[in-house]
Chains A and B, each alone.
Chain A
Amino acid sequence: MIAYLIRRILYAVPILIGVNLLTFALFFVVNTPDDMARMQLGIKRVTPEAIEKWKQQRGYDKPLFVNSAAGGTDQLTDTIFWQKSASMFVFDFGYSDDGRSIGREIAKRMGPSLAIALPTFLIGLVVYVSFALLMTLFRATALDMAGVALCVLLMSVSGLFYIIGGQFVVSKLWHLVPISGYAGGADSFKFVVLPILIGVAGGIGSSSRWYRTIFLEEIGKDYVRTARAKGLSELRVLFTHVLKNAMIPILTGVVVVIPLLFMGSLLTESFFGIPGLGSYTIDAINAQDFSVVRAMVFLGSVLYIVGLILTDISYTAVDPRVRLQ
């Protein structure tokens, strides 16, 4: 297993280089360093000298990939790509275009993102699986049909509607929680309740339908018939046998997203004023802050790879037949 993990980690290096290269190329196809400078410096009284100075101070005055004016290895290292990318492999993200430490910002914003994403994920998982099991329990009945119809209805509604509707009803009409905002520590509770509930509600439709399909597939298998023949109750059959055997497809979809919870949610954070990494990313895209964008893309890629490795490991935990070699 150790050898397998080392191999997977080594595979990650070219993937990350590729992601980095792609991000870099896409960004600079759309924007030039001059564009970035103008975006940062604003409209009023911006002179060509000011643009040059801005680029020079942030290292955007170098060639993109190859510095033909330099000699030796400097041809590759004295370029924007190298200067902005190499340090990321040791998780040194440098500074944003407005001069702030990206590493510090990420560390600071990770907490609020997790405060929303983690409970949403955990509560959501319990709710979706329970609801799916419930529909499976009452399969081919009116209740199952109603459940499926509800799922389709919930899937059809835009995420934005849940947010605005939730804020209107729970915060504006009922005055139960603040409409938006955030506070640290225990005070964060009243600010995160509504985003979590909305996050959970917004995922019920698609997730529960998916889990229902998995459970329905399992419930027709021989071991379920055997369990019933042994006289086990339907609830026991579902929650101990079906659920356990359905874990592989569930884990495939679930474990891979766990590391990505750090990255936050763009829409939820924006509407609820949550100072997390989702809003950090969207702000950076709007401000054309390449330093932050490439850091967040890199971090997202790393976390995704970690998620995939964790998924593989989790298979060994739930299915003894699986061996990582």
Chain B
Amino acid sequence: MRSLWILLLLPLAACDGGLWNNPYPLADDGRSILYTAFIERPKHLDPAQAYSENEYDFLALVYAPPLQYHYLKRPYQLTPLAASAMPMISYLGKNGRPLPENVAPERIAYSVYEIRIKPGMRYQPHPAFVPANHMLKLGDISTLGDFRQTSTRVVTAADYAYQIKRLVHPQLHTPIAGVMSEYIVGLKDYAATLQQAARTAPGGFIDLNAYPLPGVEVVDATTYRITIHGKYPQFAYWLAMPFFSPMPQEVERFYAQPGMKERNLTLDWWPVGSGPYYLSENDPNRRMVLTRNPYYDSESYPSEGEAGDADAGFLADAGKPLPLIDSIVFSLEKETIPYWNKFLQGYYDASAISSDSFDQAVSVGVSGEATVSEAMKAQGIVLDTAVSTSTKYTGFNLLDPVTGGDSERARKLRRAIAIAVDFEEFVSIFANGRGISAQSPIPPGIFGHREGCAGINHYVYDCVNDEPQRKPVKEAKRLLAEAGYPDGVDAKTGQPLVIHFDTTATGMGNKSRLDWLRKQFDKLGVQLDVRSTDYNRFQDKIRRGDTQMFFYGWNADYPDPENFFFLLHGPQAKVAKGGENASNYSEAEFDRLFEQMKNMESGPTRQAIIDRMLEILRRDSPWLWGYHPKSYVLRHGWLHNVKPNIMANNKLKYWRVDAQQRDRLRREWNQPLRWPLWAGAGLVLLFVGWMGWVLRKREQAR
């Protein structure tokens, strides 16, 4: 046993001279590295296929699409990234003739986006840029690191055009292929052509450049044009997503070589970009590492922001070349407890707050303001909060004979339920106050959202001191009676009203939430039948319209009201059209205003239309508007330039870390306690000694 202890302790004692509980190599001490975590491994890293937030955490730093969101300015606005300036937009009529800039949207047949990219941008070092690597017998090669030679090349406009063609590649699944095919001229036909080519040579490499795409034109090495149908101002937001990043064709050819896929060497696994970082280590079972792209020199820290940014220190690094951190280490942490404890030990620079740790981390003042707890403050931990550009709502199925329809009876029933279900209480109990109750589908920070009394849903709330105050339950009961269900009983049949609620929430963890929801309906005397089911069955029910009420959510693709209103747009109803309108809501005036509003530039006219649309929605109440979650992120004091930005996925390139301060504090916080080892070893020795003594005595006694 003693030798076992020695065996165990020897390597610990020789543990690289650093802190015993340091999960990182000693060589990393003092280096400009950001340590963070990911909870779920990304499914896709191909910019044509990735669409999830956890995939964009990597891709937005590896790829450089033409545009990005300004890091500091609010409301969110686009700014050039790879483009040298914002795209020049010109409009054409049906005959192809140019139209003036202020022409009525219905006269615009085509919009042309001319994009000039910054000259001289280069890709990350990669073996695909070495011609010799395209004719190799792979042999012993099993990782990209096994290729002896890497190189780079200048980014061209043709690479951007190539990536747009990839959006309809028959061997890829691009989530936005359908949307883009509606807009980019010729993309639908181009997709059909590629399908035909794929059928002709199954499994072979398809040369996308062999087929022309009329809506995408390469003007010269640094200029390309995209022509879309009609006027679609939101198109610029898509240009800020990795879908529109540059893709060199030789990279696709490189990965298409025989034997590559068998070795997990694919573009979906090993991205090749021109952004500030490249993926130098990709082990999504353990960790993924982004390293500074040595050829990235086209961007510097912004020199202007919004009022107060200079005082807050956000402009201290203005003009410095980006990125400010050399390397970003993402470690896989599936469980919240280890993640949280490692953050407290200083081994993660920032952390979200789980419900378990909320009380330990955050103090909520009498007026509801959140600050870090004293214990966190003592460690120099800072809390950053922001309202997400997302919404969590409870939808009614408008096709259902009880909860649906556009009769006054149905509206009153839905509004009664909307008053009864107290989302302020829900946020307080189940989200630790991290959210604000929604007055409409549009969250704060998105054009169309109004603050104060003007933005209140007056069907559910009263405006008191410029704040929303939920109407009393008696108002809900009155509406319910008018809807034909006095005290929750159907006046015609005498049967109690039962509402079915479909959810994927199952198990003990969700019981309290579902019990709470039942209680809300109890206020009206209405019975709530919770139908918990798995994710697939739930999706199936939504698709078939076999629900009455359901819980759903939406994260904005881009900060525009169109990206929320389309969730209620009649022609995009789930049952009839397979669209995103899961409530199957359809209202003629709303649909007409939606078509009008979606192509308008933001301004007073658009705001007036949005106000009317919101009034219609609030009147019809197809959703319980639910709440807009608030993101709470804790970070250590050594991490600088952290300004919450919900839209930007590439914000880590602006962050700066004081590695010396981090090292000092880590050492202060993590000195190993050796006495338990000595005590343990002593106890073992004592026990062994005592055992020997007892045995000797017993043998002597025999």
Contacts and interface: CB of A to CB of B under 8 A. Distances in A.
Interface of A: 31-32, 35, 38-50, 53-54, 57, 95, 98-101, 104-105, 108-109, 123, 134, 137, 164, 167-168, 171-183, 186-187, 189-191, 193, 233-235, 270-273, 275, 279-280, 283, 288
Interface string B165-190: 00000110101111100000000000
Contacts of B342: 178-180
Given A180-B23, A180-B333, A31 B580 contact: no
Interface string B4-25: 1000100110010001111101
B428 interface: no
Nearest to A134: B691
B268 interface: yes
B285 A279 contact: yes
23 contacts: A40-B43, A45-B175, A50-B177, A50-B178, A104-B262, A109-B285, A134-B691, A167-B337, A173-B673, A174-B673, A174-B676, A175-B19, A176-B20, A176-B21, A176-B677, A179-B341, A180-B333, A180-B335, A180-B338, A181-B286, A189-B11, A234-B698, A271-B337
Determine the interface band of chain B, counting residues with CB < 8 A from chain A.
35 or more
B341 A279 contact: no
A271 B536 CA distance: 27
Contact of A175 (B41, B51, B670): B670
B332 interface: yes
Given A38-B539, A177-B21, A50 B175 contact: yes
Contacts of B557: 44
A312 B640 CA distance: 64
Nearest to A233: B699
B283 interface: yes
Contacts of A98: 43-44, 268
Nearest to B40: A283
B382 to A, nearest CB: 22
Contact of A181 (B52, B261, B331): B331
Given A171-B341, A172-B341, A175-B21, 7 more contacts: A175-B19, A175-B670, A176-B12, A183-B25, A187-B25, A189-B12, A273-B286
A47 B264 contact: no
A41 B670 contact: no
Contacts of A44: 51, 175, 557, 580
A182 B580 CA distance: 41
Contact of B334 (A32, A187, A193, A279): A279
Nearest to B4: A123
Interface of B: 4, 8, 11-12, 15, 19-23, 25, 41, 43-44, 51-52, 170-171, 173, 175-179, 261-264, 266, 268-269, 283, 285-286, 331-335, 337-338, 341-342, 344-345, 347, 535-536, 539-540, 557, 578, 580, 670-673, 676-677, 691, 695, 698-699
A38 B12 CA distance: 47
A54 B173 contact: yes
A163 to B, nearest CB: 9
Contacts of B41: 283
B12 A45 contact: no
A275 B557 CA distance: 33
A101 B269 CA distance: 12
Contacts of B283: 275
Nearest to B16: A187
B173 A176 contact: no
Contacts of A167: 337-338, 341
A53 B331 CA distance: 33
Contact of A47 (B52, B285, B345, B578): B578
A-B interface, 4 closest residue pairs, ranked by CB to CB distance from nearest: A275-B285, A35-B536, A178-B23, A180-B338
Residue of B176, B338, B345, B676 with highest tally of chain A CB at under 10 A: B338
Given A167-B341, A181-B331, A190-B15, A175 B175 contact: no
Given A53-B173, A172-B341, A177-B20, A39 B12 contact: no
Given A45-B176, A50-B175, A187-B25, A182 B286 contact: yes
B677 A273 contact: no
A182 B338 CA distance: 13
Contact of A101 (B4, B20, B173, B263): B263
B264 A104 contact: yes
B171 A178 contact: no
A101 B23 contact: no
Contact of A42 (B51, B179, B334): B51
Contact of A273 (B15, B176, B332): B332
A137 B691 CA distance: 11
Contacts of A175: 19-21, 345, 670-673
B447 to A, nearest CB: 21
A100 B344 CA distance: 35
A193 B338 contact: no
B179 A45 contact: yes
Contact of B332 (A35, A134, A189, A275): A275
Given A175-B673, A176-B677, A42 B341 contact: no
